Amino acid sequence: MTTSPSTPAIEFAGVRKDYLSHGEAVPAVKSLDLAIGQGEFFSLLGPSGCGKTTTMRMIAGFEEPTAGKVFLDGRDVTGVAPNKRDVNMVFQSYALFPHLTVQQNVAFGLERKKVAKNDIKRRVGEMLEIVSLTGMERRQPKEMSGGQQQRVALARALVNHPRALLLDEPLGALDLKLRQQMQIELKRIQREVGITFVYVTHDQGEALTMSDRIAVMNSGLIEQLGSPRDIYERPSTRFVAGFIGTSNIIDGRVTWSDQGYAVLEKGPGERVVVPVPAGVAVGRDIEVSVRPEKIDLHRTIPSNVNGSLLSGTVTEVVYHGTSTNYTVATTAGTDFVVFDQNAHDAEDVASRGERVFLTWAPQHSYPIGV
Ligand SMILES: Nc1ncnc2c1ncn2[C@@H]1O[C@H](COP(=O)(O)OP(=O)(O)O)[C@@H](O)[C@H]1O
Ligand SMILES: [Mg+2]
């Protein structure tokens, strides 16, 4: 089947999935409308139990929706068996054949399809090169590290050029350093093969590093869909702001509003300034988020502040090498986290119990759900 580049690789239309548990319907995916583009690196990100694996299994055909339809390359595959969908899946457990060599593991699917011997040899060779395993053809899985076995699993899943590759927390068993290395590798491999990847993770760093777009899921629903930068810089709900990275959130009433900015007065001389869309009027209660790395911490009251100013007392100081992280109990009522890059001298570090002043530029405040 030929597909126009504008046809989504994967599409969910009005999908709901309930599981039956002790005779009762348990909603796992409540309502899903989603289009994933051709060649996209797309991540489903959310806490355990939010419906990520269920969503994947509906793409693969291991689960059928209770309501709605799933399309692959524009074709309705609802009710189509998994082996007729031309998508592959990679899991955390590599599920390699232990008694076969790397070459044989990767060649397995092509041999079953009766691809010509020469073609198999060439395609396996190309794929092993892409996953950086050239020279390891004759090894068995037990003679390889976890990271190398994961590469074999990837090569095996990609060698027959599926429409899409589904990866369900594939790096969960690797240690942190190797996981970070594999994130970069996975992104490169995906670029080289040009196949649509759908990646499931509960790890926000992983999703931010690799994805073209991320769907943040919570309790069977997508809370926000966007680029890593959108999701991080412009969280649209309190859940997203809290789940992705660290956010400081201030509640307050608009006391003044002009020219696209609102001001929340927080005490004598203290205020939060936030850009808002037209129509956010004085008297309205809003929530504002600001990221810890956008805040400047001062030990004396700064003059000429353009933007937000709050004061507070330092309750924690944690040295992290590249930054010092402060917790500050503000007089505005919320605890703030501030990441201060260690670009200055040691005597500038504030200590626990000290009164400090926090400032940040107007554009670094973001109104949630406005
Ligand atoms: N086979 C099943 N039978 C009953 N409930 C299930 C089944 N699989 C998953 N669930 C439930 O559906 C919800 C979503 O699960 P899942 O899709 O595995 O989430 P995630 O992958 O995000 O951790 C959870 O509440 C889970 O307990
Ligand atoms: Mg899961």
What is the reported pLDDT for 333?
A: 84
Q: Is residue 57 part of a domain?
A: yes
Same domain, 184 and 259: no
Q: Ligand 1 within 6 A of 52 CB?
A: yes
Distance 32 CA to ligand 1 centre (A): 15
Q: Which of 193, 212, 242 is the last residue of a domain?
A: 242
Q: Is residue 4 part of a domain?
A: no
What is the sign, positive or negative, of the torsion defined by CA atoms of 140, 141, 146, 149? positive
What is the reported pLDDT for 346?
A: 66
Q: Ligand 1 within 6 A of 149 CB?
A: no
Same domain, 153 and 286: no
Atom of ligand 1 nearest to the CA of 55: 17
Same domain, 344 and 231: no
Distance 47 CA to ligand 1 centre (A): 12
Same domain, 268 and 234: no
CB under 8 Å to 307, separation ≥6 — which residues?
A: 273, 359, 360, 361, 362, 364, 365
Q: Is residue 193 part of a domain?
A: yes
Q: Which of 242, 258, 280 is the last residue of a domain?
A: 242
Same domain, 158 and 104: yes
**Cα 220 from Cα 51, distance rounded (Å):** 5
313 and 356 Cβ atoms separated by less than 8 Å: yes
Distance 29 CA to ligand 1 centre (A): 9
Distance 173 CA to ligand 2 centre (A): 14
Among protein residues, the one whose CA lies closest to atom 1 of ligand 1 = 19
- 48 CB-side CA count, 13 A: 1
Return the CATH number at 308. Answer: 2.40.50.140
2 and 66 Cβ atoms separated by less than 8 Å: no
The closest ligand to the CA of 92 turns out to be 2
213 and 225 Cβ atoms separated by less than 8 Å: yes
Same domain, 152 and 39: yes
> What number of other Cβ atoms are within 10 A of residue 122's Cβ?
11
Distance 28 CA to ligand 1 centre (A): 6
Q: Ligand 1 within 6 A of 162 CB?
A: no
Atom of ligand 1 nearest to the CA of 54: 17
**Segments of the chain scoring below 50 in pLDDT:** none
Dihedral, 34, 36, 37, 38 alpha carbons, nearest 10 = -140
How many domains, in total, are found in the chain?
A: 2
Q: Ligand 1 within 6 A of 49 CB?
A: yes
Atom of ligand 1 nearest to the CA of 48: 23
Same domain, 224 and 283: no
Distance 62 CA to ligand 2 centre (A): 14
What range does the domain containing 199 cover?
10-242
Q: Which of 205, 227, 242 is the last residue of a domain?
A: 242
H/E stretch holding 74 reads: none
Among 339, 237, 340, residue whose Cα is nearest residue 289: 237
* 302 three-state secondary structure: coil
Same domain, 51 and 163: yes
Q: Is residue 254 part of a domain?
A: yes
Give, as one character, the DSSP assignment of residue 301: P
> Residue 303's Cα: distance from chain center in Å?
39
Distance 364 CA to ligand 1 centre (A): 37
Return the CATH number at 68. Answer: 3.40.50.300
What is the reported pLDDT for 279?
A: 86
Sheet holding 366-367, edge to edge: 248-253, 285-290, 366-367
Amino acid present at 176: L
Atom of ligand 1 nearest to the CA of 202: 22
**pTM of the complete model:** 0.89
CB under 8 Å to 334, separation ≥6 — which residues?
A: 248, 249, 250, 251
* 102 three-state secondary structure: helix
What is the reported pLDDT for 146?
A: 87
What is the reported pLDDT for 115?
A: 93
Q: Is residue 145 part of a domain?
A: yes
For residue 219, give both structure tokens. Answer: 């309790």
Same domain, 238 and 269: no
Q: Is residue 5 part of a domain?
A: no
Same domain, 89 and 238: yes
Distance 169 CA to ligand 2 centre (A): 7
Q: Ligand 1 within 6 A of 54 CB?
A: yes
Q: Is residue 87 part of a domain?
A: yes
Q: Ligand 1 within 6 A of 51 CB?
A: yes
Same domain, 215 and 315: no
Same domain, 260 and 211: no
Q: Ligand 1 within 6 A of 236 CB?
A: no
Q: Ligand 1 within 6 A of 28 CB?
A: yes
Q: Is residue 151 part of a domain?
A: yes
Atom of ligand 1 nearest to the CA of 200: 21
